Amino acid sequence: MGKIVAGIGSSHVPGVGRAYDLGRQETPAWKPLFDGYVPVKRWLEEEIKADVAIVVYNDHGTAFFFDRVPTFALGTGEVYPVADEGWGPRPLPPIPGAPELSAHLAESLVNDEFDITMCYDMPVDHGLLTPLPLLWSHVPDWNVNVIPLAVNVLLHPLPTGLRCFKLGQAIRRAVESYPDDTRVVVVGTGGLSHQLNGERFGFLSPEFDREWLDRIVSDPEGLTKLSHDELMLRAGAEAVEVIMWLIMRGAMAPEVIELHRNYYAPLVTGMGLLSLVDA
């Protein structure tokens, strides 16, 4: 039987990937962020030892564009190429998939009344790639298989926070009905507070971010009641992507234990990291 063994919440700021590729982990501007991932990566590799990571993220115009945006797109392929987001693909190996588990997830989720778009060929961008090398090793190859789950948080209407939370619960049921003994980590990405357009360009709210990190642990169902308008007003227009963390949290038990937290807000984005296990 498959098992959800951990949940991770992580921001996916593209500048983090650029800093990582340039080896800037020890520079004063980046060290507080990168240091936060070190114990989580060690814990994942030495203790959790996941077979598969289901990574919930949003595509940024690489696999999809505004002419066609699926609400939920599940990767079902054997491998996912590193997308070129305009300055060449990052120097990372292609992402190995888990097609057997993907197929099982797709069937289970559709039977659970979630309309899933299945994507055999899906390049992945910084939404997935930013946190992945900070959490798992990739030299010479990745030491975890990945199932990408892309969520529409760009083109309104967006899925509600409650719908995302319920999708996480359905993912848990799907994993637990998988016949093979497979250890699965669910990673919810995005946020935290930020706005990259309009009169409030550069807006962030450490107060909101800390509240979100607290309540995703203790009161996730309360967070599902926040409207998109309220999220964007309180935390910035692009902060609405934090609803993807609710998919991760829905896949966990009602009561969880927080093992690690890191928060850093140096410029225009609040960046968070959270690791959870079932209580």
Residues taking part in catalysis: 126, 194
Q: Give CA–CA dist 204/194, Å, rounded.
A: 5
> Helix or strand or coil: residue 187?
strand
In Å, the largest CA–CA distance within the chain is 52
Handedness of CA 124, 127, 133, 135 (dihedral sign): negative
Nearest Cα to Cα of residue 164 among 190, 182, 134? 190
Cα separation, 114 vs 129, whole angstroms: 26
- E-state strands within 81-201: 95-96, 117-119, 145-151, 183-189
- Amino acid residing at 109: L
Q: Nearest 5°: phi and psi at 84? A: -95, 110
Task: Report the alpha-carbon distance of residue 187 to residue 212 in Å, rounded.
Answer: 16
Question: CA-CA distance, 177 to 160, in Å (whole number)?
Answer: 26
